[in-house]
Amino acid sequence: MNETKKAALKIGILEGDDIGHEVVPASVRIAKAAAEAAGMAIDWVDVPIGRRALDTHGFTMPEGTLDTLGALDGWILGPIGHREYPKIPEAINPHPILRKRFDLFANVRPTRSFPGIGCLHEGIDMVIVRENNEGFQPDRNVVAGSGEFRPTHDVTISVRVITVEGSSKVARAAFEIARSREKRLTLVHKNTVYKLGCGMFVDACYAVAKEFPDVEVDEVIVDTMALRLVREPQRFDTVVTTNMFGDILTDEAAGLVGGLGMAPGLCIGRGSIAMAQATHGSAPDIAGKGIANPYAMIESTRMLFDWMGHNRKMDAALEMSRIMKSGIDAALADPATRTPDIRGTGTQADMVEGILRGMEKAVAHA
Ligand code: ATP
């Protein structure tokens, strides 16, 4: 037990843009406090990325960043405001490169309701596992060029890539998550229309299902899923779907529980590297105002340590996750330690302090 507690992790800090400069440092502060309480030694490594990296290193994804990341156990990635980048070759969107290079093929996005914060339903506790590296996303479904092109002025063609390998990998990740939860997995697709693409995805999921006979599987067509999520989200436990459907449904799910500030995520792959990345963008409209909800980024960070704990059998990382959860739950229970987007009267700083106090209490009473 003590041996595990002393094991060190190397974790990268990539602030990203806009509110990333607020919510990422907040998450690191909370993780550091949890690590100290859990007796976990972590090396924190600052890695330049995004607009500030463009200013300091001449590139939004500076040379050497990928090698630095490859030597880490995982990292916390803040939101990237690439739409505001100047239109120059040095200002690229790093997301697809990171996900591809580290084979982070599954984007795990939980949705949970908390009382008093403006959720549309009580009792939601669901995880959507979104395929991350293929599908309709034109910047990541081909190795060169783009999956979207315009052969004539009035014709645009968007290519959707579905592979047996990509579908099987995300399915296996989803089955494993389902097995650790209520052992129920819903496949979301539209094989009624996309007979080949969604058909391949569904077939691959059922092939993987044979390895998980203890997990009950059902299927919902994506448009029906959009409707059922609004009406009866409590019916779902673990959901797996292709990239673009997952992109849309996870924002819808966030809307059910208080908005994008309540939508955390963890990108995982086959290896032992994982990347904490909230669902939200860089929210330039509220950057610098001290009101961005840090929950999504902090919870993503907690998920990173929870995953490290399970994946690498590190008790101290699991303890960090438990301590962080106590603090987060305590802060969310009090309007004074919640941001305005979730019916709070506090600021981001109040929420962070509330989480830290909740963690201290949890440690003191342990
Ligand atoms: P992207 O396409 O890059 O994901 P987006 O178009 O979804 O970005 P966001 O930057 O996520 O846009 O912002 C959408 C809205 O949600 C904005 O009004 C923003 O202020 C709000 N928002 C996003 N994140 C948060 C947060 N953490 N706390 C409070 N509000 C947020």
Q: Give exposure, 99-116, as e/b (b: 16+ Cβ within 10 Å).
A: bbebbbbbbbbbbbbbee
Alpha-carbon separation of residue 81 from 20, 25, 245, 289 (angstroms): 9, 17, 22, 17
Domains of the chain: 1-106+260-366 (3.40.718.10), 120-256 (3.40.718.10)
Please tell me if the CB atom of residue 293 comes closer than 6 angstroms to any atom of ligand 1: yes
Please tell me if the CB atom of residue 197 comes closer than 6 angstroms to any atom of ligand 1: no
For the stretch 157-170, pLDDT in tens is 999 999 999 999 99
Distance 282 CA to ligand 1 centre (A): 6
Can you tell me which atom of ligand 1 is nearest the CA of 278?
A: 27
CA 286 to chain centre: 21
Please tell me if the CB atom of residue 280 comes closer than 6 angstroms to any atom of ligand 1: yes
Q: Taking CA 325 as the corner, what is the angle to CA 321 and CA 330, rounded to the nearest 5 degrees?
A: 155
Residue nearest ligand 1's atom 7 by CA: 281
Q: Are 74 and 31 in contact (CB under 8 A)?
A: no
Please tell me if the CB atom of residue 16 comes closer than 6 angstroms to any atom of ligand 1: no
- pTM: predicted TM-score of the whole model, two decimal places: 0.94
Distance 54 CA to ligand 1 centre (A): 22
**What pLDDT shows up at residue 141?**
81
Token pair 């299927």 in the structure block, residue: 219
Please tell me if the CB atom of residue 283 comes closer than 6 angstroms to any atom of ligand 1: yes
Token pair 């800090």 in the structure block, residue: 13
β-bridge mates for residue 217, sequence order:
185
For the stretch 87-124, pLDDT in tens is 999 999 998 889 889 999 999 999 999 999 999 999 99
- Positions in the chain whose pLDDT score sits under 50: 1-7
Residue nearest ligand 1's atom 14 by CA: 283
**What pLDDT shows up at residue 4?**
45
Can you tell me which atom of ligand 1 is nearest the CA of 295?
A: 27
**Position 75, amino acid:** W
Distance 278 CA to ligand 1 centre (A): 10
**What pLDDT shows up at residue 366?**
80
Can you tell me which atom of ligand 1 is nearest the CA of 279?
A: 4
Residue spans of beta strands (DSSP E) within the chain = 9-14, 42-46, 74-77, 106-112, 125-131, 148-152, 155-158, 184-189, 216-221, 238-241, 266-268, 274-276
**What pLDDT shows up at residue 5?**
47
- CA pair distance 249, 236, nearest whole angstrom: 13
Residue nearest ligand 1's atom 26 by CA: 261
Distance 33 CA to ligand 1 centre (A): 27
**What pLDDT shows up at residue 271?**
75
No. of H helices and E strands in the chain?
12, 12
Token pair 């059998």 in the structure block, residue: 313
By 3-state DSSP, what share of the chain in percent is helix, strand and coil, each rounded to 5? Answer: 45, 15, 40
Distance 256 CA to ligand 1 centre (A): 15
